[in-house]
Amino acid sequence: MDEITKYQDQSSGRDHVRRVFNAMLTARVLENKLGSLYKAGKIVGGVYLGKGQEAVSAAMASCLEKGKDVYAPLIRDQAGRTAFGEELIDCTRTYLGSVNGPMRGRDGNIHRGRPAEGMLAMISHLGAAIPVVAGMLLAKRLKGELDGVVGATCVGDGCTSTGAFHEGLNTAAVEKLPLVLTVANNQYAYSTPNDRQFACENLVDKAVGYGVRGHSVDGTDMLACIEVMHEAVSRARAGDGPQLVVASMLRLTGHGEHDDGSYVDAALRNSGLGRDSIEIGIKQLVEGGFASVEEVEQWQDDAANRVQEAVAIAQKEDSPDPYQDDWMAYSNAEMQMQK
């Protein structure tokens, strides 16, 4: 327990709460902008937003240390990406197809990352990142560099039905790896509601079956998310093995911006799950004395400026040129066939 407390003390407190909220707010401002750009026809391909999941996403990534830990964000983790330290320009360049982005136009939108900096670039297949994070941790163990390190990834309720989820979590448990696996249970996988996705009463019950520790949290409650993520990440760092965190909330957007989400049950929208974690966060900041209303307004203006700047830069940059791309799928040029 002492070990866990030690890690908790490193990053808890007032600054941490303010940092988490800033990432949430920045993500919301950025995503509103991405939505507008999509509707204006400025973005090729889909736009996938994390509205409603900002608290859990930012809370998890805020407990990670870039350069040391491993982070594999998924489709609705803009807030987590920002909290982890991804520059806004990486996002706008990827969405707007700038050749200067981390994916150089070879992949788009949320399928971006900087693996060399510990942030994986997701593929679309759900659950696929779970064993990959485990493998990165395993390699660190082999190098003798795992001490105090964690790997974290986020999936949705739909992912819990995949074989990849089962195999990945089981394997991490067998190896007792410091993996924090968060399930953002946002009630829908695209249009499929939970009652067509799984039959268990609560997804966190799965933790017992895998022999890992389970945590539940109200994903709309920013402070609760911070507390639970802290606990889970600290336990993983201290050698307690994989942690399964199930956060519940409602997706406050369609699956993508092409989807109006009209199938979402009105009763869910009006329930506690449908609360907006940003609004709750503001209330918690002010009531808890973490920040004043004026500060929050200032942060909002700052975020808007930073987003505007990141969009403006990316919009001015060149798109990829098929005559300039090296068309190399191999790092060893000898392996590349020309036709």
- Cβ-based nearer residue to another protein, 124 or 270: 124
- Cβ-based nearer residue to another protein, 195 or 321: 321
Should residue 328 be labelled a site residue for another protein when binding is judged by CB under 8 A? yes
Should residue 44 be labelled a site residue for another protein when binding is judged by CB under 8 A? no
Should residue 103 be labelled a site residue for another protein when binding is judged by CB under 8 A? yes
The mark string for 116-155 relative to another protein (x by CB under 8 A, - otherwise) is x---xx-xxx--xxxxxxxxxxxxx-xx------------
- Cβ-based nearer residue to another protein, 294 or 334: 334
Taking CB under 8 A as the binding criterion, the range among 15-23, 32-40, 57-65, 100-108 that sits at the site for another protein is 100-108
- Cβ-based nearer residue to another protein, 50 or 102: 102
Q: CB of residue 110 vs another protein: minimum separation in angstroms?
A: 13
Residue in 1, 199, 266, 329 binding another protein, rule: CB under 8 A = 329
User: By CB under 8 A, how many residues form the interface with another protein?
Assistant: 47
Identify residues 150-179 at the interface with another protein (CB under 8 A). 163-164, 166-168, 170-171, 174-175
* Contact indicator for 41, 22 with CB cutoff of 8 Å: no
- Cβ-based nearer residue to another protein, 262 or 338: 338
Q: CB of residue 172 vs another protein: minimum separation in angstroms?
A: 8
| Residues of this chain that bind another protein (CB under 8 A) | 102-103, 106-107, 111, 113-116, 120-121, 123-125, 128-140, 142-143, 163-164, 166-168, 170-171, 174-175, 328-332, 334-337
